[in-house]
Structure 1
Amino acid sequence: MAHTTDTEINEIDVRTLVPMQRHQKIFELVDQLVPGGKFVLINDHDPKPLYYQLEAEHPQQFSWTYLERGPVVWRVEIGRLLKAA
């Protein structure tokens, strides 16, 4: 398992997974995040439906920051907030 420092952020590229596996894998990573932890999701389309699902299941517990918005690649930084609202 890779260890990261404060300046390193794990990236997960789900473009190689079949669509039905993507949300499961992402939610596994989300569930493993410690407060203040984050990762960058790389996808081949806007993962906005994932945002709504994440917010519905874990309201106001995560940050969602677009780093790149297509048209070929979307990169979103997802982080667990230090203190849930």
Structure 2
Amino acid sequence: MSSTTENPANTIDVRTLVPAQRHAKIFQLVDELKAGASFVLVNDHDPKPLYYQLEAEHPKQFSWTYLERGPAVWRVEIGKPAQARQDGAAKSC
């Protein structure tokens, strides 16, 4: 369960961006997240392909929680766990 209270300061609505810019913006935000922080992604479709891309580039370094699952609006909280290691160094489980 997520305990984050959504506020506009930590919400990115990518529906306003041209599709070619969406993943780059999201990856920038993920890279800038401090441990324990999160943001809410708002999209017009299920961003599941983005999840797989993030997992490939940042394995086990982020959390992904659906807050709303369409059909018109999808909201996902993406966070960096407090125990996440920096510089992409993943700890083996």
TM range (shorter): 0.7 to 0.9
1:16 aligned partner: 16
Higher strand proportion (structure 1 or 2): 1
Q: CA deviation at 1:11?
A: 0.4
- Report if aligned partners of 2:66, 2:77 keep a CA contact under 8 Å in 1: yes
Root-mean-square deviation (CA, aligned residues, Å) is 1.4
2:31 aligned partner: 31
Q: CA deviation at 1:81?
A: 1.1
The TM-score normalised by the length of structure 1 is 0.88
The superposition leaves residues 6-61 of structure 1 with CA deviations (integer Å, 9 ceiling, x where unpaired) of: 85651000001111100000001000000001000000000000000000000001
Letter in 2 for 1:62: F
The TM-score normalised by the length of structure 2 is 0.81
Structure 1 unaligned segments of length 5 or more: list them: 1-5
Distance 1:38 1:79 in 2: 4
1:71 aligned partner: 71
1:53 aligned partner: 53
Distance 1:47 1:29 in 2: 15
- Report if aligned partners of 2:6, 2:40 keep a CA contact under 8 Å in 1: no
Distance 2:36 2:6 in 1: 13
Q: CA deviation at 1:82?
A: 1.3
Moved over 3 A (4+): 6-9
Distance 1:58 1:34 in 2: 14
Letter in 2 for 1:36: G
